[in-house]
Structure formats: structure tokens, C-alpha cells
Amino acid sequence: MKERGSDPHALDVMALCKAAGTLQGQWPLAAMARLSESFCAASDGNATWQARGWLAPALGGEPEVWLELQGAAEAPLVCQRCLQPMNEHLQVQRRFRFVSSEDEAARLDEESDDDVLALPARLNLQSLLEDELILALPIVPRHGVCPDPLPLLNDGPPEEEAPAPNPFAALAALRRPSGGG
């Protein structure tokens, strides 16, 4: 039986952190529509994930609310060097500090290297994981060593090129002989 508030699609972050709890599982990549837009083919794979919450003591105030999210997936992409399909291993590990308001989150996010978010009533871990996997996608996916190099367009001897036309030839034809009557 699931604990109240432990649904990863509507997670009660505070309850998870107070219990120093951990959740884990798998989600089909096909259920992550925004991430799947980057794929070269449909994927029947899964993203594996784990979320761990805890409260960290803070000097002179409320304990800090922390969530660590780890995830991994194989993304079917196109190598931009050889234009062949490839699988890219995506792996994320992020820590988030939750605070009571958006203003406080914005202020602390600028001052800190940590990711600071406003504490929601319910957090969709699948959406958060999808965001992080999108950020982990390579800008230019490519094999370490391409299995087959791209074929050259012309494998024969170089063709002799005709000389380029003179761009001023048309102007010369327009010029009228000056004659004068």
C-alpha cells in the first residue's frame, strides 16, 4: 500500500522529506512527449529514476527541504557526423532545495549554486525528470567513432569545370555604340 502523498505524479515533497524517504521506479520514454520530440525513432525503452528527500538543519530557522533526483535513459538520436541512428546514454543527478515562496526561490537561486524552487503543494516527478533529461541531451549528438563514414557524392575523377561566365558580359552587351548624328 502506498503512503499518502507518495504518488510520484503528485508528490508531497514535504512529507517525503520529513520521512527521509526514497521513491524509485521506471517510466516509459514514450510517456515523455517533450523528450520524445528529440528522438529519431519511437522508443520502447524506460527512464529509471530515484528520488530521495530529507530535511537539513539550518542555523536559526526552519530546516531546509532537499530533494535529490537521479535518472537514466537511452535516447535514440541521429549522429550529426554520419547521419546514422545512435543511442545516447542520458544520466542526471540533481539536488533541489525547496523554499516557501517564488520570491525567496528567485533570491536564493541567484546567490547559490544550488537549484532552488518554490515548494509546490504537489510535485510531478515525471515532469521534473523529463525536464532534466531534456537538459542532458547533447547539443550535437555524434558517435565517438562513426561506424560508416558518409559516402562522398562523387567518387569518380573530378570533372573539368567550365569557366565561370564573366558577370560584366551582360553589361557589355547593353552598352550602345556611341555614334552620333
Residue by residue, DSSP assigns 78-132 as E-TTT--EEEEEEEEEEEEEEES-HHHHHHHHHH-SSEEEE--SSB-HHHHHHHH
Residue 148 one-letter amino acid:
D
Q: How confident is the model at residue 152 (pLDDT cuts 50, 70, 90)?
A: low
Whether pLDDT at 66 is above 60: yes
Q: How confident is the model at residue 2 (pLDDT cuts 50, 70, 90)?
A: very low
Alpha-carbon distance of 90 to 39, in angstroms, equals: 13
**54 within some domain:** yes
**144 within some domain:** no
**27 within some domain:** yes
**47 within some domain:** yes
**152 within some domain:** no
Helix, strand, coil percentages in the chain from 3-state DSSP, rounded to 5 = 25, 30, 50
Domain of residue 20 covers 13-136
The pLDDT value given to residue 42: 86
**156 within some domain:** no
Total domain count for the chain? 1
pLDDT tens, position by position, 3-38: 555 789 999 999 999 999 999 999 999 999 999 999
Whether pLDDT at 1 is above 60: no
pLDDT tens, position by position, 104-149: 888 888 888 889 899 999 999 999 999 999 999 999 999 988 887 7
Whether pLDDT at 178 is above 70: no
**48 within some domain:** yes
The pLDDT value given to residue 3: 52
**80 within some domain:** yes
